[in-house]
Amino acid sequence: MIRLYDIIVIGGGHAGIEAACASANMGCSVALVTMDKHAIGRMSCNPAIGGTAKGHLVREIDALGGVMGKIADRTGIQFRMLNTSKGPAVWSPRCQSDRKLYSEEALRVVSNTPNLEIVEASVNEVISENKKILGVKTEEGEFIKCTALILSSGTFLNGLMHTGLKTTVGGRFEEKPALGITQSLAKLGFEYSRLKTGTPPRLKKISINWSVLEEQPGDENPQPFSHQTNKDLFPYLPQLSCYITHTDEAVHKILEKGFNESPMFTGRIKGIGPRYCPSIEDKIVRFADKKQHQLFLEPEGLDSDQIYLNGFSSSLPAEIQLEAMHKIKGLEEVEMVRPGYAVEYDFFPPHQVDLTLETKIIEGLYFAGQINGTSGYEEAAAQGIIAGINAACKIQGKPDFVLKRSEAYIGVLIDDLVVKSTEEPYRIFTSRAEHRLLLRQNNADRRLMSYGHQLGLIPDDLFEKVRKKEKIINISKELFENYKLHAREINSFLKQKDLTEIDSAESISKLCKRPELTLKELININGIKNNQIVKELLANEDSLEQVEIELKYEGYIKRQFEMVDRLEKYESTKIPLTFNYLILKALSTEGREKLNRVKPRSIGQASRISGVTPSDISILLVYLKN
């Protein structure tokens, strides 16, 4: 008997979890195929969620109805908002997670999702017919049939682990690789290549001299990722500190002794590593002028005796790693539980997928996560939810779901992958988003929750709360633009703060633009705080914060919206996916090749392809108009 599902998801990592849960919650029958159900949600590297720009992705996933934020909130042991000394566009939430509890909570969430079945098996072949997906074949020879297949295999495709001259097959420590899938896809016409990532050593907690290290506590009033987390009960777990130390020149000299046995420098690793999260040996070579590098000692969990040495990713011989660590402040007598190692794995350059993450070669086949060349749990999860939503939409006859660059960091991430492709592990940054002041982490619900609600992933009561919040924010902004404070009311306050006094009445909105003044201070100067709308605003810190940001940065926000409107004509000029660029001889040779390779959905997307000139875009516009 052949098993049949609407959707099969291969891989129980962060991409697979989101893909499976989203499509199942949209009403499709889903099989999540994984080698070991207890490895679902296992954190291969750093036990942390969020960070710069990555935290934005988690908030967006949550606003669409995803689960990463909820799992992180339930299992976080330290929460911090990063970059608070900078502008609100780059404020980014991050949490240190309990590695064991995160995986357990992920399994619980997946197991309790209706329409979703966990299948423990190893897939070694993708089956298609007439360029359409049919299903998969397992290592045991079972054929499992489906209408859509989402491949989210992480670092497991032909995975190899390297420590010094020692090489072991596997996609993660003590876990076997996935064999056969790459060759199966290559036969179908897909291009593939190799990438590498790495992980630091794990240290024994009791062997560290904590007293000489710099403590890094979490926030006093931590904020959850998920809009559905009960703030009265948050945080759910005891909170722990992380600690900071540094390498120095003596450490670097010891590490250099192992370079002749480094798989990276001797050429045994063929895959390209992450530019923005390099190994410690790579840092020493690339930044030879730096005398030290910062390291973070992060707990793996409340009951764990292991510490993660963030910033010391390495594939050098184990004895070299340990010798070097013994020269680091606080680690003079440290015991190493497990050395760092590099993982080399197959990926499929992402110009082969569309913005829906459906592949351009096989209908019904979707790629999500590191298979597309990305780095990080959050980037994987973001792709997972988009692939899961689009697979369900395809089966249910609904329109494709694509987020624009101006709507979400998820839109920036996927557009970058499809248009620019990648030859190295891609990582999201706030600098990649041209409209980042519009894409703040604290307004993800206002930007995206209507989509989640339309898709059936956000409950009615939560969406109604967001609608009310939006209404209060808009009414409050209008009120503060029209409500003026007179000189006699505010000048004494301004004088106390050593600020320039006013000659005539000024609106609260205009006064709020002064960086030294807060909206709450201005509200308290006059009886406006007794206004019913203002009372509601003051009762919700999040809404108050957003009103203040939008008043202070009103000019910048307005200019970004104007830029979005100017670019919209390009984004809204659609190009059929079947369009044959090779027949347009007026296009430059490189332009023809690149356009035919990427097959952009719009003129806007076409204009962002490297090698496509403004002249090519003009020719395309004329041709499409005719």
pLDDT of residue 374: 95
What global pTM score does this model have?
0.94
The architecture (CATH level 2) of 3-197+345-454 comes to: 3-Layer(bba) Sandwich (3.50)
User: Is 90 exceeded by the pLDDT of residue 50?
Assistant: yes
User: Is 90 exceeded by the pLDDT of residue 174?
Assistant: no
Phi/psi region, residue 421 (left: phi>0; alpha: psi -120 to 50; beta: rest), is left
The architecture (CATH level 2) of 202-341 comes to: Beta Barrel (2.40)
What CATH code would you report for 460-557?
A: 1.10.10.1800
| Rounded-to-integer distance, Cα 40 and Cα 110, Å | 9
Map out the domains of the chain as residue ranges.
3-197+345-454, 202-341, 460-557, 573-625
pLDDT of residue 171: 86
SS (H, E, C) 587-605: CCHHHHHHHHHHCCCEHHH
The H or E element containing residue 377 is helix 377-396
Q: How many helices (H) and strands (E) does the chain have?
A: 21, 22
SS3 (DSSP) at 321: helix
What tens digit of pLDDT does each residue of 202-221 get?
999 999 999 999 999 999 99
pLDDT band at 624; cut points 50, 70, 90: confident
The architecture (CATH level 2) of 573-625 comes to: Orthogonal Bundle (1.10)
| Rounded-to-integer distance, Cα 153 and Cα 298, Å | 27
Check for a shared fold between 3-197+345-454 and 460-557: no
User: Is 80 exceeded by the pLDDT of residue 526?
Assistant: no
pLDDT (mean) for 311-336: 96
What tens digit of pLDDT does each residue of 446-504 get?
999 999 999 999 999 999 999 999 999 999 999 999 999 999 889 999 999 999 999 99
pLDDT (mean) for 99-125: 97
User: Is 80 exceeded by the pLDDT of residue 269?
Assistant: no
pLDDT of residue 525: 86
pLDDT band at 579; cut points 50, 70, 90: confident
Q: Are 180 and 125 in contact (CB under 8 A)?
A: yes
Higher pLDDT, 118 or 563: 118
